[in-house]
Structures are given as structure tokens and as C-alpha cells.
Amino acid sequence: MINIYTDGACRGNQNTFNMGGWGFVLTDKATGKARHCWGHEANTTNNRMEMTAAIKALHAIRNRSRSEVTVYSDSNLMVKGMTEWLSGWKAKGWKNSGKKPVENKDLWVQLEELSALHNVTWQHVKGHNGNAGNELADQLANRGADGQQGKQDFVGGM
């Protein structure tokens, strides 16, 4: 049983330079160990940061044997995307309900590939609801958005 809390943040807006941050908290019930990572990226969007957080977390366990994984995120977009919309997008050539191209296809594809390696449950949580894991992931993401040097290049297994 692996629990992952993810969060993304993004400072600034539109055409002006902005800075995004992502963070995740990963706890392994079996080993009792936890680890947290964060990073940042320039000129991005809040939604890309939310997705990137999950990609980084899943990437961290890509070499593990197939496990029960639960990803908690306050991004309704990501949770609904992975659980309800993804199959439809692929069937319709990555077009959304308005017949326009789905945004951030590159990240959706990565999420699908990485989540296929385990039995992943996607769970939506309300942001800032006192949930300890979500609060910590939020802090990590903001640490990234603030430009603090994180473990962006984290690639190892646990």
C-alpha cells in the first residue's frame, strides 16, 4: 500500500514570466518509510504543475513490483481526467467535449504510462481541508514555486 499526496502551485500570470512548483509526499505502509520531493519549472500553468507532481511521484516507484497505489490530489481536473475522461479522449483523437484539442496531452500520456505499472486509485481531496498529507504537499509545491532548490531530478526507487 503506497499513498501519494500531490500538489501544484503557480505564481504570476499569463504573458509575464511565472514560476510553478510541484510537490509530493509518498508513504509506504509496508516499510513505514516516507519521502517528500519538490521542484520548480518556469513559464508553466497551475494545471501542468498539478499533473507534474503526480508524474514525479509515480516515476519514483516505476521500478517497484506492481503495488496498490492511491494518489490524493486536490486537482479535480487530474482526478477526473484519469478516471473518467481519458478513455474518451483517446477514442476521439484527443478532442475534448468542445471538439478542441485536449491540453497537456504530453502529461496525460505520461500519467497513463506510469499509472499502468501499478493498481492506481485516484482520489480527489478538498484543498486546505486540514488533511495532513495534502497540507505537506502544498507546502512542498510552494517551496518549489518560491524557487527553492528541490529534488527536481529525483529518479530513484524508494
Pick one of 1, 29, 43, 76: the residue that binds RNA (CB under 7 A).
76
Candidate ranges 31-39, 55-63, 73-81, 113-121; the one touching DNA (CB under 7 A)? 73-81
Bridge partners (DSSP) of residue 112 are none
Q: Side chain identity at 148, as an amino acid letter?
A: Q
Whether 28 is a known active-site residue: answer no
Helices 46-60 and 132-145: angle between axes, nearest 10 degrees: 110
Shortest Cβ 47–RNA spacing (Å): 7
Name which of 67 and 83 has its Cβ closer to RNA: 83
Check residue 145 for interaction with RNA (CB under 7 A): yes
Name which of 28 and 144 has its Cβ closer to DNA: 144
**Alpha carbon distance 63, 130 (integer Å):** 32
39 φ/ψ sector (left φ>0, alpha ψ -120 to 50, else beta): beta
Query: Phi and psi (nearest 5°) for 16?
Result: -80, 160
Name which of 46 and 121 has its Cβ closer to DNA: 46
Whether 8 is a known active-site residue: answer yes
Check residue 111 for interaction with RNA (CB under 7 A): no
Q: Is the dihedral of CA 69, 70, 71, 76 positive or negative?
A: positive
Whether 50 is a known active-site residue: answer yes
Shortest Cβ 32–RNA spacing (Å): 28
Is residue 140 within a helix (H) or strand (E), and if so which, with residue range?
A: helix 132-145
Binding to DNA in span 19-58, by CB under 7 A: 45-48
Check residue 6 for interaction with RNA (CB under 7 A): no
DSSP symbol at 31: T
Contact footprint for DNA (CB under 7 A): 13-14, 45-48, 75-77, 80-81, 85, 88-89, 96-98, 100, 102-104
